[in-house]
Amino acid sequence: MKKHIMNVLIGQCIWGLLPLFWLLLQQVPSLYILANRIIWSAVLCVIILFIQKKFSLSVCLRQIKKEWLYILGACLMITCNWAIFIYSMTHEYILQSSLAYFVNPVVVIFFGGILFHEPLSRLQKLAVFFASLGFVIAIFLYGEVPYIAILTCATWAAYSLLKKRITLDSLLSVGLESISMVPFALLFIFFSEWNHIGAYGVLTGWQWLLLPATGPVTAIPMLFFTAGIKYAPITVSGICLYVSPTLSLIIGLLTGEAFTFPLQITFFFTGISIILYLTGLFLQYKQ
């Protein structure tokens, strides 16, 4: 049991510290970084799939035929989420990205109740209410829309819900999501370099190694997390979900991002919703 909890924690810690990695690529255009992340993630996924002997073309084709709409939707949502995340890391929006992942479990519960008719407990409804209240107050009273947080949260929640509809092996599914976007990523890199808006002339020496490193830093925490989340107790894994955004929040504050009053209000109400969410999770686990 300890091993599974440690796997979840390691995955969350790596995710939480990733802003430090993305800051090293701050001078490179966000979409160019995204294109490299897609390519190198696909390469790593293919290697792992062949090592584990999970790659089967016939199985893939059968599953894609049945679930192509969900796979396509998941592919688009994760690509958008990656793009927004990289932009937030390299344009001083780390705090908003952190906020998104704080509130994300509550948003997933909310959409799960609407789309899949999953019953919501009173505490879960209150958690959704307080999380929404924080955003509403920030928007209407202070005129500041935390759009990065909203878009990050919405795309990740949509991706999570679409993945519930996909029966394909999780690693194979992630591999397909990356591989399907590789042609577009290669075209974009070629276009960027042809028009002198890529990484050439921006990165020098060892910095070129950062681009292929985008693959491992994407896949490694996911592998740790998925290895542990299946077997870790639900209350422990629920709490662990907040390790990553907490570390990102600290990094955002230490790098000098402005912790504006509207953002403070949103974080305050999000904190209340998290307490309610975790309390409900604990009571559910006890039952």
The per-residue pLDDT for range 46-87, each reduced to its tens digit, is 888 777 766 665 556 565 666 778 888 888 888 899 999 999
Return d(Cα 178, Cα 187) in angstroms, integer.
15
Which amino acid is located at 279 in the chain? T
pLDDT in the model for residue 191: 92
**Cα gap 66→200, rounded to integer Å:** 42
- Joined tokens for residue 94: 């780390």
Stretches in the chain below the pLDDT threshold 50? none
Of 160, 224, 164, 174, the closest CA to residue 13 belongs to 224
**Structure tokens of 54?**
């999970």
CA distances from 178 to 71, 162, 182, 218 (A): 11, 16, 7, 11
Identify the pLDDT of residue 55.
60
Place of tokens 């989420």: 81
Distance CA 76, CA 7 (A): 28
CB-based contact 41:177 (threshold 8 Å): no
d(C-alpha 249, C-alpha 233), whole Å: 26
Predicted TM-score (pTM) of this structure: 0.84
Three-class DSSP category at 200: strand
Return the number of other C-beta atoms located less than 10 Å from residue 104's C-beta.
20
> In the beta sheet, which residues pair with residue 200?
203
> Which spans in 143-260 are helix H?
147-163, 170-194, 210-229, 234-240, 243-254
